[in-house]
């Protein structure tokens, strides 16, 4: 079912469909960095009493993606491995020398609460990041350091708070060198970028509105690059799922050049319903850049379009978050074109309720 599209420049239509106010919430992302940094800096963390050899972020959905972004960000600057654990359990090799962030925005997600229990049993150093719920209760009960961020947001829109809290905690513990310059650049870049992405900016100057119109009636497939935009591609996919209530897929270069590109021959009528977004970042490996130049040529006639989206900014962090922000707005505009309120995620809520029954 493809409904007639609204005009994204019509304030009345946009406000009517965006009943939960997602566009207003997205606008607050740079402010989350500022406020989250302050909260994390004010949270007293005792010096680590052990040598840490693994940083782990345990969470799911919107609470895990900040950990993924952290993993990629630290991949170029931390001497320790960073693992994102999306499970009830933690890996066998995680133990006393692991520092685990238990991250659940609501504080009530069963996978994260379970991983918290396992990490405590194994003697890992644990830091809880949440807006409240059982995780906050348990952390207080157990004397576990707690970074408590403001509540009331859909978890997937709290990425600024969740990312910056863990980064500042790692800096405070001396596990990551100072990143103040990059964080400052990210805040000012996102503050500028939101002017171009917000509903008040007309479609002719607003890339997120343009991408949404191009993707309307199509299945978005998002390509990122290993070590730079792989997680951002996953974020775009997740945001299309949760905000637009539509399927989307992602894959990573260069790996996809060795399998997925072959699968673009049949069935042609379905392939014409696919739109590929390639996330391009100056930090990509030079050979990956060359691959991205070749893909539109090789795939352009097989799918409906191959669209390249460029990162903005000069630092790694600003580039990562600029693409993230464009994808967030894109997915919300796509929801509005389908006549869907982007905020509620009824099927997740229903599933959680059903799981709570037994």
**Binding flag, residue 61, ligand F6R (CB under 6 A):** yes
Question: Looking at beta carbons, which residue is closest to ligand F6R?
Answer: 61
Question: Site size for ligand F6R, by CB under 6 A?
Answer: 16
* Candidate segments 23-31, 49-57, 58-66, 266-274, binder of ligand F6R by CB under 6 A: 58-66
**Binding flag, residue 106, ligand F6R (CB under 6 A):** yes
Active site residue 218: no
Active site residue 185: no
DSSP for 139-208? HHHHT--EEEPP--S-GGG-HHHHHHHHHHHHHHTTSS---HHHHHHHHHHHHHHHHHHSTTS-GGG-HH
**Binding flag, residue 85, ligand F6R (CB under 6 A):** no
The distance of closest approach from Cβ of residue 301 to ligand F6R in the complex, given in angstroms and rounded to an integer, is 36
Are 130 and 103 within 8 A, CB to CB?
A: yes
Are 162 and 32 within 8 A, CB to CB?
A: no
Long-range contacts formed by 341-344: CB under 8 A, 24+ apart = 341/17, 341/18, 341/19, 341/20, 341/22, 342/18, 342/20, 342/22, 342/243, 342/244, 343/18, 343/19, 343/20, 343/21, 343/22, 343/25, 343/154, 344/20
CA angle 254, 182, 50 (to 5 degrees): 85
**Binding flag, residue 63, ligand F6R (CB under 6 A):** yes
Nearest CB to ligand F6R, comparing residues 30 and 59? 59
The one catalytic residue among 258, 265, 297, 346: 258
**Binding flag, residue 236, ligand F6R (CB under 6 A):** no
Active site residue 352: yes
Nearest CB to ligand F6R, comparing residues 112 and 165? 112
**Binding flag, residue 288, ligand F6R (CB under 6 A):** no
* Residues identified as active-site: 242, 258, 352
Binding residues (CB under 6 A) for ligand F6R: these are: 59-63, 104-106, 109, 112, 154-156, 242, 345, 348
């Amino acid at each position: 079912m493809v409904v007639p599209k609204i005009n994204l420049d019509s304030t009345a239509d946009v406000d009517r469909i965006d009943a939960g106010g997602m566009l207003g919430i997205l606008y607050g992302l740079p402010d989350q960095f500022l406020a989250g940094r302050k909260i994390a800096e004010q949270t007293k963390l005792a010096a680590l009493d052990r040598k840490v050899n693994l940083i782990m972020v345990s969470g799911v959905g919107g609470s895990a993606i900040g950990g993924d972004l952290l993993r990629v960000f630290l991949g170029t600057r931390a001497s320790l491995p960073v693992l994102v654990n999306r499970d009830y359990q933690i890996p066998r090799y995680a133990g006393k020398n692991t520092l685990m962030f238990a991250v659940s925005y609501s504080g009530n997600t069963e996978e994260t609460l379970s991983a918290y229990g396992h990490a405590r049993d194994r003697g890992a150093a644990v830091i809880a990041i949440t807006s409240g719920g059982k995780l906050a209760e348990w952390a207080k009960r157990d004397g576990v350091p707690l970074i408590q961020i403001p509540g009331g947001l859909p978890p997937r829109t709290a990425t600024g708070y969740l990312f910056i809290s863990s980064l500042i905690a790692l800096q405070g513990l001396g596990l990551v060198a100072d990143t103040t310059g990059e964080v400052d650049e990210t805040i000012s870049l996102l503050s500028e970028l939101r002017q171009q992405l917000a509903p008040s900016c007309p479609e002719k100057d607003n890339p997120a509105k343009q991408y949404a119109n191009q993707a309307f009636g199509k299945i978005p497939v998002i390509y990122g690059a290993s070590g730079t935009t792989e997680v951002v591609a996953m974020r775009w996919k997740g945001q299309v799922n949760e905000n637009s209530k539509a399927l989307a897929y992602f894959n990573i270069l260069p790996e996809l050049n060795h399998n997925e590109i072959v699968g673009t021959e049949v069935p042609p009528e379905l392939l014409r319903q696919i739109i590929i977004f390639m996330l391009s970042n100056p930090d990509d490996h030079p050979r990956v850049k060359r691959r991205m130049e070749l893909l539109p040529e090789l795939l352009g006639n097989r799918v409906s379009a191959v669209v390249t989206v460029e990162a903005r900014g000069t630092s790694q962090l600003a580039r990562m978050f600029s693409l993230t922000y464009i994808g967030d707005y894109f997915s919300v505009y796509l929801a509005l074109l389908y006549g869907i309120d982007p905020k509620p995620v009824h099927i997740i809520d229903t599933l959680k309720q059903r799981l709570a029954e037994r």
